[in-house]
């Protein structure tokens, strides 16, 4: 009897913890109680409270305990705790940028709470649905859900949660750049929090951070700084790492705007350190970017580069999420429409079943007719739902593909900026090396001319020394020019286009760049001559590509092909000359003719249905099999020293595979020729 009474009291106390949310400092106590508890329902309440305690200090832990609570609540049949755990899981997913999953969790929690008529659970889910719409920028829908939750919290006497919703509404007005409206709601919430010792439902750090933002929008710097500093104090009391890192970051930005560099660095460093512990990517990105900018202005390039790398890593995930937010909106709208359609179908189906049951009491024939009708209707519903599911899966697949391409685009842009910066820094001193080496050669020639009459006959030591110095200067200039060519290649490699895909005539693009390449080579070398052919498939439709990028790929492959046939032409000419010298006395048998080498480059296209193929072939020197696997590596080249940087094929491979989702392959036989194939999905 005593054991039952103890478990009952413990269950009631845990229930209070869950309903009012748990504080961070209660987690160790809750974990200790969890180890000493065997009752599933009590375990479920304790796990839910732990998940709540971690909500502002450790997103991964909060989500882990929320998932555990859902599983245990299913086992125990506790729908109320299942709803609370699902809502908490959705809350943490929101911070990770997984908006569709977050919204799905909140709708599932809302449905369960409505079924069991749990007013608190309904209000909690509505409030957090408002959070999702706020993140999406749907401010009207966000405020609607906050007001609905406020009314329910007022009905059940949850004043802390009521004012939490007021704080959320104030934050939305901040985002809408309406600081006066924001301060109205935020001040009301903060004033109410001062009249209570409840630090769980009244999230003071969050309120102060938002009040500071409102003052900043009003250009009231003094009050903004004071509010952020109060937010830091409140956040330290609650171990609220989310709002602690944000208050540090916004103070750093204000100090930077007011040229207080030391203070800005100190608070930005604190924000970065705290957000790293939490895994708060948005704050990591902004803090690292601010520090990099400050150190760059102060010409502390090592520190600037260090924080730039940190910001690039954070940007790879968070920037892509911003770029695809419109896609997420579309998916969420589709989910809402489909859910409404499904609910309408279920309600209609339930009405039909009631009619069937009532009619069954009257006559068996009517029952059979309605059952048959119901069966057909169910099949139609299943078909509709199946089609909708397939459409959603296709949309999600497209979203993942687009996200991958955007991430790659961001990586390429970041790498391009870094490469361009390094290349520009190298180019200036390199120009001095080249210019002064040329000047040294000219001065030495003048010196040699001036000294020649002064030297006695037979005194060649000074002249030889001058020749050696002049030779060294010429070598310095030669290798400096090679370095300049590499820098030029790096700048070309880092050059970015608009990245905008547009319908393009592939045949016209290939023909244009083929002629451009040929006439460009002819302009450089009048002795160069080669035959070029085109074999275009006229059934190819216009394809969505980035025309500038794809043009660079085709031009690079064609230039390489012309170079290969030119090199083979030189080899063939030397070979024929040697053979002619060695066989002057030989007589060529009657009817036997030596076949002259005809350098040829062929560009062709082909329509393969779901993709198109571009082929660039030549009958040039070919590629040795042992280096074929290396040709797409950056800075690897088969051209003679000074004639290639090794960046062209590397850039072409990235553009085809990562930007356009295609394939770039090579087939080659040494001494016979090479074929490059580009495949692009339509």
Query: What does the DSSP assignment read for 258-282?
Result: TT-HHHHHHHHHHHHHHHHHHT-HH
Residue 41, φ and ψ in degrees, nearest 5: -65, -35
Three-class secondary structure assignment of 197-230:
CCCCCCCHHHHHHHHHHHHHHCCCHHHHHHHHHH
Residue 371, SS3? helix
Q: Which residues of 119-156 are buried (b: 16+ CB within 10 A; e: fewer)?
A: ebbbbbbbbbbbbbbbbbebbebbbebbebbbebbeee
Radius of gyration of the chain (CA): 36
Q: Are 633 and 650 in contact (CB under 8 A)?
A: yes
% of residues, the chain, pLDDT over 90: 25
- Whether residue 601 contacts residue 618, with contact meaning beta carbons closer than 8 Å, is answered with yes
Give the mean pLDDT of the chain: 79
- Which residue bears the tokens 């009048």? 526
**Does residue 401 carry a pLDDT above 70?**
no
- Nearest CA to 270 among 250, 254, 298? 250
Q: Tell me the domain boundaries of the chain.
A: 240-323, 331-496, 502-570+597-681
Confidence of residue 9 (pLDDT cuts 50, 70, 90): very low
Cα angle for residues 457, 462, 467 (degrees, 5° grid): 115
Statement: residue 363 has pLDDT above 70: yes
Residue 580 pLDDT: 58
Check whether domain 240-323 has CATH 1.25.40.10, yes or no = yes
Note the pLDDT of residue 585. 47
Q: Whole-angstrom Cα distance, residue 405 to residue 241?
A: 33
Confidence (pLDDT) at 322: 56
Q: How many residues are present in the chain?
A: 682
pLDDT band, very low/low/confident/very high, at 589 (cuts 50, 70, 90): very low
Closest CA to 658 of 582, 581, 553: 553
For 542, the enclosing helix (H) or strand (E) is none
CA 52 to mean position of chain CA atoms: 30
Stretch (H or E) spanning 544: strand 543-545
User: Per-residue pLDDT for 498 more than 80?
Assistant: no
Residues 107-125: tens digit of each pLDDT: 999 999 999 999 999 999 9
| 522 vs 361, residue with greater confidence | 522
pLDDT at 512 over 60: yes
pLDDT exceeds cutoff 90 at 126: yes
Distance (Å, whole) CA 636 – CA 647: 7
pLDDT of residue 536: 94
Coil, helix or strand at residue 664: strand
pLDDT category, 215, cuts 50, 70, 90? very high
CA distance 219 to 584: 94
Local confidence band at 10 (pLDDT 50, 70, 90 cut-offs): very low
* Region 545-574 average pLDDT: 87
631 and 649 Cβ atoms separated by less than 8 Å: yes
- Greater confidence, 417 or 168? 168
Band (52; pLDDT cuts 50, 70, 90) = confident
Q: State residue 489's pLDDT score.
A: 55
What own/partner pairs with CB < 8 Å and gap ≥ 24 does 368-372 have?
none
* Neighbouring C-beta atoms of residue 275, cutoff 10 Å: 26
* Residue pointed to by tokens 């066989």: 583
| 3-state SS assignment for residue 503 | strand
Instruction: Report the C-alpha gap between 588 and 172 in whole angstroms.
Output: 93
Terminal CA-CA length for the chain? 74
Q: Is the pLDDT of residue 283 over 50?
A: yes
What distance in Å separates the CA atoms of residue 664 and residue 556, rounded to the nearest whole number?
A: 13
Whole-angstrom CA distances from 334 to 338, 349, 391 are 6, 22, 10
Is residue 13 within 8 Å of residue 29, measured between CB atoms?
no
Candidates 163, 18, 162, 27; CA nearest to 87 is 18
Q: Measured between alpha carbons, how far is 31 from 230 in angstroms, rounded to an integer?
A: 31
Residues 646, 192: Cα–Cα separation, whole Å: 67
Per CATH, is 502-570+597-681 categorized as 3.40.630.30?
A: no
What is the token pair recorded at 202? Answer: 């009244």
Q: Which of 576, 422, 397, 407 is nearest to 493 (CA)?
A: 422
Can you say whether residue 206 is alpha, beta or left, with left for phi > 0 and alpha for psi between -120 and 50 degrees?
alpha
Name the residue among 462, 470, 550, 451 with its Cα closest to residue 507. 550
As a whole number, mean pLDDT of residues 150-165 equals 90
Which range among 36-45, 195-204, 282-291 shows the weakest confidence by mean pLDDT? 36-45
């Amino acid at each position: 009897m005593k054991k039952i009474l103890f478990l009952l009291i413990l269950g009631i106390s845990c229930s209070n913890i869950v309903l009012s949310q748990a504080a961070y400092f209660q987690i160790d106590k809750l974990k200790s109680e969890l180890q000493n508890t065997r009752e599933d329902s009590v375990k479920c309440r304790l796990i839910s409270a732990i998940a709540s305690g971690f909500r502002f200090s450790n997103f991964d832990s909060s989500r882990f305990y929320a998932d555990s609570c859902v599983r245990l609540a299913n086992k125990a049949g506790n729908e109320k705790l299942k709803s609370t755990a699902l809502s908490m899981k959705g809350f943490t997913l929101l911070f990770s940028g997984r908006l569709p999953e977050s919204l799905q969790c909140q709708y599932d929690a809302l449905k369960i709470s409505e079924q069991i008529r749990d007013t608190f659970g309904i209000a909690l889910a509505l409030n957090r649905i408002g959070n999702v719409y706020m993140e999406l920028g749907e401010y009207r829908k966000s405020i609607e859900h906050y007001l609905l939750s406020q009314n329910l919290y007022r009905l059940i006497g949850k004043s802390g949660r009521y004012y939490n919703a007021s704080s959320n509404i104030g934050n939305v007005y901040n985002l809408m750049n309406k600081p006066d409206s924001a301060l109205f709601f935020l001040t009301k919430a903060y004033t109410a929090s001062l009249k209570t010792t409840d630090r769980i439902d009244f999230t003071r750090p969050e309120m102060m951070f938002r009040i500071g933002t409102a003052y900043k929008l009003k250009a009231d710097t003094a009050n903004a700084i004071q509010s952020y500093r109060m937010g830091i104090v409140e956040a330290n009391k609650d171990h609220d790492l989310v709002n602690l890192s944000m208050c540090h970051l916004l103070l750093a930005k204000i100090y930077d705007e007011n040229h207080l560099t030391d203070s800005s660095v100190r608070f930005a460093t604190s924000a970065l350190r705290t957000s790293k512990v939490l895994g708060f990517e948005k704050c990591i990105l902004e803090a690292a970017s601010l520090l990099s900018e400050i150190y760059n202005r102060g010409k502390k390039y090592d520190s600037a580069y260090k924080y730039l790398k940190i910001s690039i890593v954070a940007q790879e995930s968070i920037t892509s999420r911003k770029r695809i937010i419109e896609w997420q909106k579309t998916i969420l709208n589709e989910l809402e429409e489909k859910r409404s359609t499904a609910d309408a179908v279920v309600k209609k189906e339930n009405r039909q079943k009631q009619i069937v049951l009532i009619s069954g009491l009257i006559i068996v024939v009517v029952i059979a007719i309605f059952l048959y009708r119901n069966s057909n209707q169910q099949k139609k519903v299943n078909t509709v739902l199946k089609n909708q599911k397939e459409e959603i899966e296709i949309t999600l697949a497209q979203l993942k593909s687009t996200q991958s391409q955007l991430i790659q685009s961001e990586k390429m842009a970041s790498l391009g900026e870094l490469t361009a910066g390094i290349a520009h820094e190298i180019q200036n001193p390199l120009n001095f090396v080249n210019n002064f080496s040329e000047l040294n050669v000219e001065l030495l020639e003048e010196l040699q001319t001036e000294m020649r009459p002064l030297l006695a006959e037979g005194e060649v030591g000074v002249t030889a020394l001058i020749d050696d110095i002049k030779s060294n200067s010429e070598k310095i200039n030669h290798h400096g020019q090679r370095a300049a060519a590499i820098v030029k290649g790096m700048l070309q490699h880092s050059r970015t286009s608009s990245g905008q895909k547009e319908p393009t005539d592939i045949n016209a693009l290939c023909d244009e760049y083929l002629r451009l390449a040929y006439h460009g080579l002819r302009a450089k070398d009048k002795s160069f001559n080669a035959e070029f052919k085109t074999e275009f498939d006229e059934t190819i439709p216009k394809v969505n590509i980035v025309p500038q990028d794809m043009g660079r790929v085709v031009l690079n492959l064609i230039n390489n092909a012309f170079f290969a046939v030119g090199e083979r032409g030189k080899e063939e000419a030397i070979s024929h000359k040697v053979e002619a010298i060695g066989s002057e006395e030989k007589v060529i048998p009657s009817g036997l003719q030596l076949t002259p080498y005809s350098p040829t480059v062929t560009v062709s296209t082909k329509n393969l249905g779901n993709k198109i193929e571009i082929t660039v072939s030549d009958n040039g020197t070919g590629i040795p099999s042992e280096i074929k696997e290396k040709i797409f590596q950056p800075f690897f080249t088969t051209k003679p020293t000074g004639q290639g940087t090794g960046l062209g094929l590397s850039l072409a491979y990235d553009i085809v595979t990562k930007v356009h989702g295609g394939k770039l392959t090579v087939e080659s036989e040494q001494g016979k020729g090479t074929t490059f194939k580009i495949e692009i999905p339509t």
